[in-house]
Amino acid sequence: MMADAIQIQVNGEQRGCQAGATVGDLLRELAIKTERVAVELNLEILDRKDFDHRSLKQGDRVEVMSFIGGGAPANVHGRGRGVVHAE
């Protein structure tokens, strides 16, 4: 591991990231377009315009959320269908 790398958690999964990287950098690295997603950093929902100003630090927990097919909650517990991929 590089000296300037930190560990963060994104959508429940551990991953490495450059120290000093911003939320915006992370989304670009994951190829996630910022429109249509909501980002929560350590339970704080971020304003989209702050993505490039909020830097990540060791142990941060990031949630990247978007819309999937839904209406009846039953499908939500189901596996397979319904995982969305914000582009």
**Is residue 19 within the footprint of another protein (CB under 8 A)?**
no
Residue 27 burial by Cβ neighbours in a 10 Å radius (0-12, 13-18, 19+): buried
Strand-pair partners of 4: none
Residue where the block lists tokens 């249509």: 36
End-to-end CA distance of the chain: 29
Which residue stretch of 1-9, 17-25, 53-61, 71-79 sits at the interface with another protein (rule: CB under 8 A)?
71-79
Name residue 57's amino acid: K
Among 45, 50, 53, 61, contact with another protein (rule: CB under 8 A): 45
Return the residue of 2, 3, 71, 80 that touches another protein, per CB under 8 A.
71
For residues 2 and 71, which CB has a smaller minimum distance to another protein in the complex? 71
Residues that bind another protein (CB under 8 A): 10-13, 30-32, 35-40, 45-48, 63-77, 81-87
